[in-house]
Amino acid sequence: MSRRQLERGTALRGMVSPEGIVPLGADFPPDGSGPDADCDILHLDMDAFFASVEQLRHPETRGRPVVIGGTGPRSVVAAANYAARAKGVHSAMPMAQALRLCPDAAVFPPDGPAYRRVSESVMEILRSVTPLVQPLSLDEAFLDVSGARRRLGGPVRIAARIRERVRQEQGLTCSVGVAATRFTAKLGSTHCKPDGLLLVPTASVRAFLDPLPVGALPGVGDKTERVLARMGLRTVGALARYDADLLRLELGDKAGTRLSELARGIDESPVEPESADKSIGTEETFDEDVSDPETVRRELLRLSEKVGHRLRASGQAGRTVSVKLRRGDFSTVTRSRTLPDATDVGREINAVARELYAASGLVGVPLRLVGVRVEGVLPADRVHRQMALGEEDSGWRDVERVMDRVRERFGPGAIQSAVLAKRDERDV
């Protein structure tokens, strides 16, 4: 897709052929008996998702560059729409630099709950088509539509139907790649963004892959790309033609075999329906380095409560609590402890986080970032805590569930712990 196409948001709806990309004709077989006969894998990717949600909430920003992120001196860009990207703005860029490139941008702080609500609605659309949905993040997912053919027609027709429902029901656009494998479908959706649909028939996979740079393959980072370049392998086609045994000698058995197969369009990984997160965490970067232990402990409490809320919202609990402590020079220390029983209670998470901080050797040391994470996560209904003899239930789980309900009804700032509230009053 050309830069001009990207800037204008021109949709690409076509099919890869040895001659190039051709439009999907009106007479394209709706029952999947045509070129999409064995292309049961779809990859859906929402277009500039966070920014698009904000534009729905703020219609006055239509046609303007939109950037998501904080505005503090150390804030970075979390997301940007295509108008901002056309001016060079990208995620992880310092916000100050983004605003120099795009001074007319509308800037909004990230609103995780809002994005999750829209994401859940989109995922419900996908699950109404097939139970074989594998979300990769809030804004993208794989689908296996092999079981939906008889009811809804061929994969291309299903993809078009999904895109139209997302547009009508959510007011958003998405791009969908259709192929026989997950890897090729994902590349297809990337190639047709924004607001596009691309079919990569099995017979044309090599024609599609061969011209791409090796960096397009998953698992090829800067280091591997440099190694492949020294071997004279700069395109996927060159990699596909390279001797697999020699590639394994250079990269190791696992990496060499995987890249050789991907380069030839081979990917046997199935679409796996959504599974529980293995860990849930959050972190905060301070505007200025913080050395005051009480301020750090207060932030650990805030983060612990947030993690507890996310665990309860997802119906999960976890046993291992870890903290991340990053100094001003970016050196990072992590500490963790495994509990006898899994928990979803913020106060219990915070008690361990405070102890880990106290034992870290960094109390009083200026910190740039702190984070709290719970690992070893499993469904909460599988947690059976055995109270010790004489142990009393603290009641914090019930208290925090009440707080969850208040926040759901009145907003995230409607209620908070007294320690946090008192400090906020002093900060005013």
Q: Point out the residues that are catalytic.
A: 140
Residues in the chain: 428
The CA angle 14-20-22, to the nearest 5 degrees, is 30
Q: Which region holds residue 234: left if phi is over 0, alpha if psi is between -120 and 50, else beta? A: alpha
Of the candidates 112, 107, 82, 83, which has an alpha carbon nearest to the alpha carbon of residue 95? 107
**How many Cβ atoms from other residues are within 10 Å of residue 396's Cβ?**
16
139: annotated binding-site residue? yes
Distances (CA, A) of 81 to 91, 96, 107, 120: 10, 17, 11, 21
The CA angle 398-404-409, to the nearest 5 degrees, is 135
329: annotated binding-site residue? no
CA-CA distance, 323 to 334, in Å (whole number)? 6
CA-CA distance, 164 to 162, in Å (whole number)? 5
Q: Are strands 174-179 and 106-108 parallel, antiparallel or unpaired?
A: unpaired
Q: What is the largest CA-CA distance in the chain?
A: 77
Binding-site residue ranges for Mg(2+): 45, 139
Binding-site residue ranges: 45, 139
